[in-house]
A and B are shown apart, each in its own frame.
Chain A
Amino acid sequence: MSIEDKVKKIIADQLEVDGDKLKGETTFEDIDADSLDIVELVMALEEEFDLEISDQEIENIKSVGDVIEYIGSKT
């Protein structure tokens, strides 16, 4: 599975949304994710990809594409 697919699957599982509807430009606001959803998502990503995402980095993550790009740059 590509990083893109993995990330989309984690987002879909964590936020309970349809993974097929997630596009790069989909923002977390679009899918009604609140700040705690983002924290839970970050924890799931940290576990899956074995990395640590700092508070500042979290603030820059606004869309599905941001996550894919971020994880891609770290792995």
Chain B
Amino acid sequence: MQKLNRSIITGTGAAIPDRVITNEDLEKLVDTSNEWIVSRTGIRERRMLEEGFSNADLSEKAAREALSRAEVSASELDLILVATVTPDHHTPSTSCILQARLEAFKAGAMDISAGCTGFVYALSVAQQFINSGIYTKILVVGVEILTRFTDWEDRSTCVLFGDGAGAVVVEATEDENRGIINFSLKSDGRGAKLLYVPAGGSAMPASEETVNNRMHYLIMNGNEIFKFAVKAVEDTLYDLVRRENKKPEDLDMIILHQANLRIINHIRKHLKLPQEKFPVNIDRLGNTSSATIPIAMHEEILAGRLKEGDLVAMIAFGAGLTWGGVLMRW
């Protein structure tokens, strides 16, 4: 049998806008309070991309850092995958804009839309291209500019989201002890309307009416998402570890999508696992959707908490509904 290549992450990067929006800032916009936001979500502040900049700008910054840390030149890239639901344009893809900026002229490029699970989906796609031996160097970006699709008059959602980008370089290795071990990708489109933007697509093109009725912003059923998220994460976690005859407690780190600190805490308590295994950035960044996991990964590496040899699960859930995870030996 042909030997399959393993995929390892050789470099990470992140880009966070400078502008901070605190809960106190939001108190001036909508009927809310710092205490309410912190107790319901764990969020203290989030970042907002400055006017005049776009998704591709943040993507580029995160991508350049990941390439530099991986010591890979953009010209060597075989493929660029950008996971996002807030691209610069409906078309062309943000990945193509990024490809031009990086001058990665050898690479194919495509965006992947899987809600907040986008990065997990994109990483799994990258792993498959490497596993099959077709490609050896792939850039994967998780990026979101959700503040531009947030209804700043809706106090139930405007407190939740922030902007950010995280990027990783995935490379082939023959080292069988490291890299991505398995993944799980799931969806349930019956929950499509639990978290969605009604207008702006071909189902309901933009019109004066859609703009006046604020239909270009995210609408969410938070309680239903909470229930779904807890079950989705636990199912995925058990799916990932059981296939390797392991248990959740064998994991050194579980990087969960940062949608709500209450979801993370609920899962942690239910699994009876220690707090230090669950990285958190939602308190500082809010929910950055596809970017939460790659940013967390990058932060944990810089902090020295994510080390070679660690068994790590990354698990996300989001609009679609979609959910999934990746198990890897760092």
B224 at interface by CB-CB < 8 Å: yes
A40 at interface by CB-CB < 8 Å: yes
Q: Is the CB of B40 within 8 A of A55?
A: no
Q: Which residue of A lies closest to B41 (CB)?
A: A36
A43 at interface by CB-CB < 8 Å: yes
How far is B207's CA from A65's CA once the two chains are assembled, in angstroms? Answer: 50
Q: Is the CB of B230 within 8 A of A36?
A: no
Q: In the assembled complex, which residues on chain A have CB atoms less than 8 Å from the CB atom of B40? A: 34, 36
Residue-by-residue, is B286-305 near A (CB-CB < 8 Å gives 1, otherwise 0)? Answer: 00000000000000000000
How far is B266's CA from A34's CA once the two chains are assembled, in angstroms? Answer: 15
Instruction: Number of B interface residues at 8 Å Cβ cutoff, please give it.
Output: 11
B148 at interface by CB-CB < 8 Å: no
How far is B262's CA from A34's CA once the two chains are assembled, in angstroms? Answer: 12
Q: Is the CB of B39 within 8 A of A55?
A: no
Q: In the assembled complex, which residues on chain B have CB atoms less than 8 Å from the CB atom of A34? A: 39-40
How far is B227's CA from A49's CA once the two chains are assembled, in angstroms? Answer: 17
- One of B39, B222, B230, B260 near A43 (C-beta < 8 A): B230
Instruction: Number of A interface residues at 8 Å Cβ cutoff, please give it.
Output: 8
Q: In the assembled complex, which residues on chain B have CB atoms less than 8 Å from the CB atom of A36? A: 40, 222-223, 226, 260, 262
Q: In the assembled complex, which residues on chain A have CB atoms less than 8 Å from the CB atom of B224? A: 55
How far is B224's CA from A35's CA once the two chains are assembled, in angstroms? Answer: 11
Interface residues of A in 30-75 (CB under 8 A from B): 34-36, 39-40, 42-43, 55
Q: In the assembled complex, which residues on chain A have CB atoms less than 8 Å from the CB atom of B262? A: 36, 40
How far is B226's CA from A34's CA once the two chains are assembled, in angstroms? Answer: 13
Q: Is the CB of B227 within 8 A of A39?
A: yes
How far is B260's CA from A55's CA once the two chains are assembled, in angstroms? Answer: 20
Kindly provide the distance from the CB of A16 to the nearest chain B CB, expressed in whole angstroms: 11
Q: In the assembled complex, which residues on chain B have CB atoms less than 8 Å from the CB atom of A35? A: 222-223
How far is B230's CA from A34's CA once the two chains are assembled, in angstroms? Answer: 17
Q: Which residues of B contact A (CB under 8 A)?
A: 39-40, 222-224, 226-227, 230, 260, 262, 266
Besides the contacts A36-B223, A39-B227, A55-B224, what 8 more A-B pairs have beta carbons closer than 8 Å? A34-B39, A35-B223, A36-B260, A36-B262, A39-B223, A39-B226, A40-B262, A43-B230
- Top 7 A-B pairs, shortest CB-CB distance: A39-B223, A39-B226, A36-B262, A40-B266, A39-B227, A35-B223, A36-B226
21 A-B pairs with CB atoms under 8 Å apart are A34-B39, A34-B40, A35-B222, A35-B223, A36-B40, A36-B222, A36-B223, A36-B226, A36-B260, A36-B262, A39-B223, A39-B226, A39-B227, A40-B226, A40-B262, A40-B266, A42-B227, A43-B227, A43-B230, A55-B223, A55-B224
